[in-house]
A and B are shown apart, each in its own frame.
Chain A
Amino acid sequence: MSKSVDTVILVAAGLLCAVPAMADTFGLGRPATQAEIVAWDIDVRPDGEGLPEGQGTAVEGEEIYAEQCAACHGDFGEGIDRWPVLVGGVDTLENDRPVKTIGSYWPYASTIWDYVHRAMPFGEAQSLEDDEVYAITAYLLYMNDIIEDDEAVLSHETFGDIVMPNADGFIPDNRATVDEMVGGAPCMKDCTAGPVSVTMRARVLDVTPEDEN
């Protein structure tokens, strides 16, 4: 559909909006143009909806990652200081100290593409070309052993082939049926076997910030 036809249709829709006959609306706002929607509608879903045409490989991604990402996330995705760790942690989710990364935790590869594209690099969001985002995504998947071949082309057409290791790691909110925190009159008197005593003190860790005031 050509842009001029779009415009005609959208203008017509706009006129309809303003007609009082549409009793359930207030006639406020104006139709969004196709170019406006394209400019802002950047979200990507697990089924691939929203992915633009494009492609990249892990080899290409490594170079971009080194320039754009490694300063915070580390050369190997290990995370500098408190910046997020991107790689590793597989089979640690049951551990005392789980390491939640793209490889060990994230259920969908589309989330990587979407997030890198909308919010990264930190402080220069939405500055990467689509092909660069494909390449960085491929490299992150490669570092997490989800893509084995660093020359494999990740594109809008091959994206659906990616299955994340922890895709089945999530369950719906079942607090209401599992956690048993509903109903019953709470105990008011002699609720513990004996007198209660202190078992742990925050001061032992002493991580409360000093007050400068």
Chain B
Amino acid sequence: MASPDKTALSRRALLSGAAGSAALATVARADDPAITGMQEWNQYLGDGVDAAPYGVPSEFEADVVRRDVPWLTADPVSSVNFTPLHKLEGIITPNGLCFERHHAGVALIDPAEHRLMINGLVDRPLVFTMEDIKRFPRENKVYFLECAANTGMEWRGAQLNGCQFTHGMVHCVMYTGVPLRYLLEEAGVKTNAKWIMPEGADASAMTRSIPLEKALDDCLVAFAMNGEALRPEQGYPLRIVVPGWEGNMWVKWLRRIEVGDEPWHHREETSKYTDLLEGGKARRFTWEMDVKSVITSPSPQAPITHGKGHTVISGLAWSGRGTIDRVDVSLDGGRNWQTARIDGPSHDKALHRFYHEFDWDGSPLLLQSRAVDSEGWVQPTKDALRAVRGTESIYHNNSIQTWHVRDGGEVENVEVG
């Protein structure tokens, strides 16, 4: 393949030079009716200020929605849908587009009737109302939340055509909440305590065991996301935030935290969220989400429609172990790499946005991205990951994704070798 850098430079030089401008000016073309014609919105009045007291996106963005994969689960009330990553920009996910995962549907809770209990190995078992919780000092933190099963359908090979489906079980918002350690200190944690167990108020009464060390370190009890109250599907009125760790632990509709000296080994940390390896043994308590990245555009749902010429590759990278140090992009299936440009804030355990701009010559591409995190973890190839994990782990698939861009700009999910 020709050096992409050289191609990009020469074309940019041509287009920005006087010769380029002169050439464009001489092209005979029809007048654009979008300019020469009068549009409705040029002439007539639009809606007044109260037409939408809670604003919604333009009707022309109607395809930017969460989608599910119906064959994946038995019933939509115990299922998952996916964030439309291919249509999003920056690092913050709009609240209404954050993927959903429920085990017994969305609990609709009157916050006046909601309580948080802390019991177990504490000096003073306590009950808090939502009002009580909002009287503690609070913090604002941007964190990604990724389901451990994100990309789980791709272990055996390329399966779903769309980064919404392959990578859309992740979102990233700014949480407002109370450091969990304040609540635990209020109850007085006994010296023999080693674990906590958050429990949900929904009909699945979700539970997970979390080491006390993590609970006292950076966990939050959050009541707001992106500046407004949690959405019902994200745990309104209260959820636990477990930064960098698998999404299942971020118990929604949080109503109780028990403090104990042993893990509980409940269903979601034994039957589920354990990673079966070749040889029949399974890893458990694999909490941290590994370093990962994906090109969100172009991707199968976001093909290149402009033909050859200057093109923007946009993508996301994240790690449950810290920040993203670097993202590399390959146009040739991982043979040669160039370092991408990370743009926007770099928060600990949050999504990072990267870009790679280049001049596409219209020939087929095999796009990949590879992230390196602040702890030195490198995103592996699919083959490298399968070599150590087999294909039955379900969870924690952070391998490098390949998008095949065809000469017409259409994009498909492929594997390469």
- Name A's B-contacting residues (CB within 8 A): 13, 16-17, 24-26, 28-32, 36-37, 40-47, 72, 81-83, 93-94, 98, 100, 102, 105-108, 110-111, 114-115, 118-119, 122-123, 125-126, 169-175, 178-184, 186-192, 195-203, 205, 207-209, 211, 213
Contacts and interface: CB of A to CB of B under 8 A. Distances in A.
Interface string B117-133: 11110001111100010
A192 B265 contact: no
B334 A111 contact: no
11 contacts: A28-B136, A32-B118, A40-B256, A43-B199, A43-B207, A123-B104, A125-B104, A186-B370, A195-B333, A195-B335, A196-B332
A153 to B, nearest CB: 24
B315 interface: no
Contact of B414 (A43, A45, A190, A201): A201
Contact of B136 (A26, A72, A192): A26
A61 to B, nearest CB: 18
Interface in B140-175: 157-162, 165
B287 interface: yes
B182 A26 contact: yes
Contacts of B185: 24-25
B125 A196 contact: no
B248 interface: no
Contact of B334 (A81, A172, A191): A191
B286 A175 contact: yes
A108 to B, nearest CB: 5
B96 to A, nearest CB: 15
Given A29-B128, A174-B283, A202-B413, 8 more contacts: A31-B127, A94-B279, A108-B265, A111-B271, A170-B274, A173-B284, A181-B379, A208-B160
A65 to B, nearest CB: 18
B159 A29 contact: no
B310 interface: no
Interface of B: 62-63, 65, 67-75, 77-78, 103-104, 117-120, 124-128, 132, 135-136, 157-162, 165, 182, 185-188, 197, 199, 203-205, 207, 255-256, 258, 260, 262, 264-267, 270-271, 274, 276, 278-288, 290-291, 300, 328, 332-338, 366, 370, 372, 375-380, 384, 388-389, 392, 404, 412-417
B180 to A, nearest CB: 14
A45 B281 contact: no
Given A107-B265, A171-B282, A199-B415, A213 B63 contact: yes
B417 A182 contact: no
Contact of A209 (B69, B375, B380): B69
Given A98-B276, A175-B290, A209-B68, A47 B271 contact: no
Contacts, number: 254
B203 to A, nearest CB: 4
B270 A178 contact: no
A150 to B, nearest CB: 24
Contacts of B267: 111, 114-115, 119
A198 B74 CA distance: 33
A71 B118 CA distance: 37
Contacts of B412: 201-203
Nearest to A209: B69
Given A175-B286, A175-B290, A202 B160 contact: yes
Given A186-B337, A187-B337, A202-B161, A98 B392 contact: yes
Contacts of A179: 380, 388-389
Contacts of B379: 181
A174 B306 CA distance: 46
B377 A169 contact: no
A31 B126 CA distance: 4
A207 B404 CA distance: 18
B73 A82 contact: yes
Given A28-B136, A175-B286, A208-B161, A36 B337 contact: no
A172 B375 CA distance: 20
